[in-house]
A and B are shown apart, each in its own frame.
Chain A
C-alpha cells in the first residue's frame, strides 16, 4: 500500500498585511476526490489563504505542492492552467454580458460563442446546474449566478475546486442540490476546498476540516466525528454565545404599517416591489427572510425614506409618512441601520464624532446653522462606551474600525436616538461571533422596551434566534409573517424557492392567496 499523493499540500504558508498577520504558518493537505473544509469565523484568514492558492495574493513564505510537485503561482490565469478553479463569495461576473460571454472570457481557446453555448448547456445539465447560456447575467437570480461561476470552473476541467462561502446566497433546498453536485464532482476525482463558517454544513458535506482562528491553524478534524460545540470551540476558542429573549410584557399595538406598497426599482438591475403589506408591533422583532436581490434593497429604501413612496402606503402610528424623506422620518422616530456600513451608515474618512452628527444632529448639535462639535463628540463617546465599541473614541475615523465595532457604533448611534421603530439590514453580516452576539442581544433588549424592530437578514439562523415573527421576501413579493414557532428552516426555504420558481409553487401560492384574502 502506498499513501496517495495529495492533490494539494500547503506547508507553512505565512502572509502578513501592514496591520495583521492574515495567515501564520498554515499547513494543510487535500487528497484527490476529498472534500476538505476550511472552517473559521470572519477575519480568521480563510479568504486570504484561498487567494494565495489561486494566485491572487502572494504569500510571504511557505511552500505549495500540487500533485507532489512544488508550484509557485503568480496569477489566477496560471492557477487555472494548473487545474485550480475558484468560485468567489463575491462573484466575478459581468452583469451586462451573457452567460456564454462571461464564460468565454476565462477560457484560453478560440472565440466561438455558439459552440461554447452548446458546451455550457451540456456541462451544466450533466452536473444538475441548468443554465441558459444566452441569458444576460443581470437577469439571473443570485443562485443562478453561482451556477455560472461553478460551470465556468467546470469547463476548465479543474482538479481542485475552491468554493468560498457558497451557501450564503442559497435557499436551504438549493444548498442540498449544491451538495449533490459537489459530491458528484468528488466522486469523479475532483478535490474540493470548501470554505465556510457554518458548522452543520461542514458536518454533512466534508470529509476533513482544517480550522483557522486569527490566521493560525487551531485544529484538524473529521467533522462527522465532532459535535457542533467541539467544532465551535476550535473555531472561536470558547462556547457559542446564545442570546436570551425574555417575553415582552408591555402593550401590543401596531406601530409601523405598510399597505399595498409597490415600487419600481431604483437601480438599473433592481427588483420591482409588488403589493407589499406588513405590520410591526410594539415590543417585537419582525424578521424578513430571503436572499438579497429579491427586493430587499428596494424595501429597505422605501421604509427608510431613501426612496420616495406614496403618502398613505406607509404609516407610523396611523399617520401617513410615505412622502417623508429619510431625515424627516428619523425625526419622527424611525431609525435605520443599513447593510452597507462604510459609505452609507457611516462616512469612512470622517471621525465618529462627525458620524454621530450624520444622523443625530437634531439632538442639540446645531445652533443657528452652526455645528456644536462638542455635543457631537460627547454623543459619540457615550455611544462608544455604552455599546462597547473597542479601540475607538470620538476622534477615530470610521474606516479604522473593524466591521463588528463599526456596526456596534451605528446600531448604538441609532438606538440612542430613542426610536419608536428601528429598521436593521443584515445586522451581523461579516461580523465576528462575539460582536454578533452583542448586537443580537442589543436588538432583543431594545424591542423589549417597546420599540418595534424590523430586521432584514439572509441568515435564517439569525432570524430564528431573534425574530418573533418571520416573513419571506422573494421576487419582490412578501409572504405574510408567521410566528417563529410555526416555522422551520425547511418551510421558510420552500417559501423562498416557491416564490422563485412556479414549478413548485403549491405552498407559496397558497401563501399568496391567504395574504390577498387577508388584505
Chain B
C-alpha cells in the first residue's frame, strides 16, 4: 500500500504547486480588498509566456518562470487600470481578464503547439531524502516545489510579522480610513494586484514548462478558478491555503492513479472531481456566514475612489 501512496503523495506536491502560487498571489491581492477573478487568464498568459521563453532560449523553467511572472504581472496591470484607477466593477473586470487571457494565450500559443520541453529533474536533498517514506515525498522534488515552500513562508511571514502585512490588512478592511490617515491606497493595491499576477504567471509557467511540459490551449483547465475558491476556503490565511492546495493536488493526481488503485470509474467523472470538490469546499466554508466574515477583508470587491 505504502508503495502506491508514495508516488501519489509525491505527485500531490507537484500538482499543488500551481494552486499554491496562484492561491498565495490571490490571497495577497484579496487581503487588500481587491478580488481579481482573472487568475485563470493570468495563469494562461503566464503559461504561454513561460513556455515561449523557455522554448526560444532553451533554458527551460529557469527562464520560463521569471518570464511567466512578468507576463502575469503585466496582464494584471490591465485589470488594475480598469478596476482600480477607474474603479470599475472588480468581478466583471476579472472575468474580462480571464476571457482576454484565454484568447491571447491561445493566439500566441498557436506557434508552439508542436513543441515540447525537457521538464525538470527532481533534486534529492542529501540526507533528508533518505528518510524513509517522508524523504521521497518531500525531498526528491524539482526546485519549483521547494520554491513553493519558500513562497509560502515569505507570504506568511510578511502578512503576520511586518508593518507591510499590517498595512495590507488595514487597507483591506477600510480603504477609506487608510486613505484618510494618508496612505496611497490605490498604489498599494496596484502592487498587490501585480504580485497576484506575477504569482499566477509563475503558476501557469510551472504547468507549461515543468508539469506537462507542453503548451496546450486552455491548459490550466479551471485551476485559476479553483485557486480563487481556495482563498475563500483558506479564510484568507496562508497556512490553510497550503492545506487546501495539497487537498486539491491529491484529488487531481488521483485520476492518474485510479486504475492502479483499482478504481473503475469513467475518466470524465474522475476529471470532474476537483470541480465538485471545489463546490463542496465552498459550501462547507460558507455555511456559517459568521465564520466566513471573521477573516473576510471587509472592503473586498467594493469599488474605492478616494
> Using a CB–CB distance below 8 Å, which chain A residues touch chain B?
55-56, 75-77, 79-80, 88, 91-97, 101, 104-106, 111, 268
Contact = CB atoms under 8 A, between A and B. Distances in A.
A92 B177 contact: yes
A268 B289 CA distance: 9
A93 B177 contact: yes
Main secondary structure of the interface of A (DSSP, over half): loop
A373 to B, nearest CB: 28
B293 A105 contact: no
Contacts of B181: 76, 92, 105-106
A105 B167 contact: yes
Given A77-B182, A105-B178, 8 more contacts: A91-B177, A92-B176, A93-B177, A94-B173, A95-B173, A104-B163, A104-B166, A105-B181
Interface string B71-92: 0000000000000000000000
Contacts of A56: 180
Q: What are the nearest 5 A-B pairs in CB distance?
A: A76-B182, A77-B182, A92-B177, A111-B163, A92-B180
28 contacts: A75-B182, A76-B180, A76-B181, A76-B182, A79-B182, A80-B182, A92-B176, A92-B178, A92-B181, A94-B169, A94-B170, A94-B177, A94-B178, A96-B173, A96-B298, A97-B169, A97-B170, A97-B173, A101-B166, A105-B163, A105-B166, A105-B167, A105-B183, A106-B182, A111-B162, A111-B163, A268-B293, A268-B294
Interface string B172-202: 0110111011110000000000000000000
B4 interface: no
Contacts of A94: 169-170, 173-174, 177-178
A268 B297 CA distance: 12
A76 B182 CA distance: 5
Contacts of B183: 105
Nearest to A78: B182
A162 to B, nearest CB: 12
Contacts of A101: 166
Contacts of B169: 94, 96-97
A91 B169 CA distance: 17
Nearest to A265: B290
Given A95-B173, A104-B166, A268 B290 contact: yes
Contacts of A93: 177
Interface string B183-226: 10000000000000000000000000000000000000000000
A96 B294 CA distance: 9
A97 B177 CA distance: 13
B268 to A, nearest CB: 41
Contacts of B174: 92, 94-95
Contacts of A80: 182
A317 to B, nearest CB: 34
A111 to B, nearest CB: 4
A251 to B, nearest CB: 45
Nearest to A106: B181
A76 B183 CA distance: 9
Nearest to A81: B182
B183 to A, nearest CB: 8
Contacts of B170: 94, 97, 105
Nearest to B296: A268
A399 B162 CA distance: 42
Nearest to B306: A56
Contacts of A91: 177
A231 B177 CA distance: 34
Contacts of B177: 91-94
A263 to B, nearest CB: 14
A92 B177 CA distance: 4
A88 B177 CA distance: 10
A105 B163 CA distance: 8
A381 B166 CA distance: 51
A308 to B, nearest CB: 14
Interface string B29-40: 000000000000
B151 to A, nearest CB: 23
Interface in B114-129: none
Contacts of B166: 97, 101, 104-105
